[in-house]
């Protein structure tokens, strides 16, 4: 069955590279469900990826993320460039129902083979969300999409992490006032490479942009995953104060300037991208797979009963979770030694 999955994966991957959008969609479903097909396909496709510009777009609900993505798509397509969108839809347990109108708008690209729009359901555990999205982006990258937008709502830690794992992270804000909004801004802005005040036709947009420029401090290196890359070699990206742009996504005003800013960030940021965001992303992917591998060993026939007993002991407070983790780690290592 594993061999069968590999055969199917290679067939799907070959077809996706050749431009078969149905094969691409199927691959992304496999990635989302973390199937054996996904692993085999990703192993084949991964060396072909790494060329695309991954742009994360996040912000609070109502800032106009989907409308802006739609406007960016129109701009990118007018330039004849292929483009993909991964909309991380936190639909379980939260549904991104607000995107409906924009989804309809995006369906106008249904016949355009150079546009690929994918909604990710973000099921499963939170830790896997960034890894799954990164894997989906790698598949689109390998399939020839040179520009991939990753849209997430900036109201949960996992969701923000997903957007922040992109090469360039855009944080969207609507022109609004009040202490609460300011506080939200301060948190979200930490991950921004570019800040966009959308709904620029509303009163206060320019003032909000000015306030944001005043409050922005140069971004510091972000805390990466626990399996960190080598960041002790002085290659960290230089902290840089993010630019603040104003757009009106509904009319397209400011959108060409935003696309130009993204392209600029891509060009000048290439070295920093390699040493910063890309390494963080790679570490997160590897860490997620490591956790899966370890969990797989603990669920394997030889250890499943032992694992269940240990978890039961922790649940009943007969065993503390640290002792439990050490027991299971030793058991997993022992199981491997037996195999070898």
User: Within 290-329, which residues bind a copy of itself (CB under 8 A)?
Assistant: 290-295, 298-299, 305, 307-312, 314-318, 320-326, 328-329
DSSP 85: E
Q: Tell me if 284 sits within 8 A of 131, measured CB to CB.
A: yes
d(CA 148, CA 14): 20
Stretch that binds a copy of itself, among 103-111, 156-164, 213-221, 263-271 (CB under 8 A): 156-164
Element (H, E) at 53: strand 53-58
Stretch that binds a copy of itself, among 6-14, 72-80, 94-102, 244-252 (CB under 8 A): 94-102
Among 203, 223, 234, 301, binds a copy of itself (CB under 8 A): 223
Could you give the 3-state DSSP secondary structure of residue 242? coil
Stretch that binds a copy of itself, among 9-17, 70-78, 179-187, 256-264 (CB under 8 A): 179-187
- Tell the burial category of 130 from Cβ atoms under 10 Å away from its Cβ (0-12, 13-18, 19+): buried
Q: Under 8 Å CB-to-CB from 41, ≥6 apart: which residues?
A: 9, 10, 12, 13, 16, 27, 30, 31, 139
Helix, strand, coil % over all residues of the chain, rounded to 5: 55, 10, 30
Among 111, 226, 234, 267, binds a copy of itself (CB under 8 A): 226
Closest approach, Cβ 62 to a copy of itself, in A, equals: 10
Among 20, 227, 252, 253, binds a copy of itself (CB under 8 A): 227
Among 17, 127, 237, 257, binds a copy of itself (CB under 8 A): 127
Site for a copy of itself in 193-212 (CB under 8 A): none
Site for a copy of itself in 40-69 (CB under 8 A): 42-43, 46-50, 61
How many residues of this chain interact with a copy of itself, rule: CB under 8 A?
98
* Tokens 């973390």, residue located: 34
Q: Which is nearer to a copy of itself, 21 or 51 (CB)?
A: 51
Q: Is 289 in the site for a copy of itself (CB under 8 A)?
A: yes
Could you give the 3-state DSSP secondary structure of residue 246? strand
How far is the first Cα of the chain from the last one, in angstroms, to the nearest whole number? Answer: 23
Closest approach, Cβ 152 to a copy of itself, in A, equals: 10
Q: Which residues pair with 150 in a beta bridge?
A: 56, 86
* The two three-digit tokens of residue 216, written as one number: 């922005």
* The two three-digit tokens of residue 179, written as one number: 């202490």
Binding mask 98-117 toward a copy of itself (x if CB under 8 A, else -) reads x-x-----------------
Q: Which is nearer to a copy of itself, 126 or 215 (CB)?
A: 126
């Amino acid at each position: 069955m594993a061999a069968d999955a590999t055969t199917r994966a290679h067939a799907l991957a070959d077809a996706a590279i050749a431009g078969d959008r149905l094969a691409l969609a199927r691959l992304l479903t496999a990635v989302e469900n973390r199937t054996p097909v996904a692993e085999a396909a990703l192993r084949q496709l991964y060396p072909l990826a790494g060329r695309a510009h991954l742009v994360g777009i996040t912000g609070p609900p109502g800032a106009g993320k989907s409308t802006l993505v739609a406007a960016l798509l129109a701009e990118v397509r007018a330039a004849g460039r292929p483009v993909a969108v991964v909309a991380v839809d936190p639909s379980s347990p939260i549904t991104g129902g607000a995107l409906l109108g924009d989804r309809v708008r995006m369906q106008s690209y249904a016949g355009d083979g150079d546009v690929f729009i994918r909604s990710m359901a973000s099921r499963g555990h939170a830790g896997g969300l960034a890894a799954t999205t990164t894997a989906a982006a790698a598949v689109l990258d390998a399939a020839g999409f040179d520009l991939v937008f990753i849209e997430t709502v900036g109201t949960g830690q996992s969701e923000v992490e997903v957007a922040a794992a992109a090469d360039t992270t855009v944080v969207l804000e609507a022109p609004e006032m009040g202490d609460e909004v300011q506080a939200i801004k301060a948190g979200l802005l930490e991950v921004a490479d570019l800040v966009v005040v959308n709904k620029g036709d509303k009163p206060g947009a320019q003032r909000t942009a000015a306030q944001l420029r005043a409050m922005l401090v140069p971004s510091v290196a972000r805390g990466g995953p626990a399996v960190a890359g080598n960041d002790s070699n002085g290659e960290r990206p230089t902290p840089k104060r993010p630019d603040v742009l104003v757009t009106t996504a509904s009319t397209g005003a400011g959108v060409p300037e935003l696309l130009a800013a993204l392209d600029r960030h891509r060009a000048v940021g290439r070295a920093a991208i390699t040493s910063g965001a890309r390494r963080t992303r790679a570490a997160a992917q590897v860490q997620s797979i490591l956790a899966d591998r370890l969990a797989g060993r603990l669920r394997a026939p030889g250890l499943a009963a032992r694992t269940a007993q240990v978890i039961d002991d922790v649940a009943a407070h007969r065993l503390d979770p640290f002792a439990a983790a050490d027991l299971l780690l030793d058991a997993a290592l022992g199981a491997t030694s037996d195999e070898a």
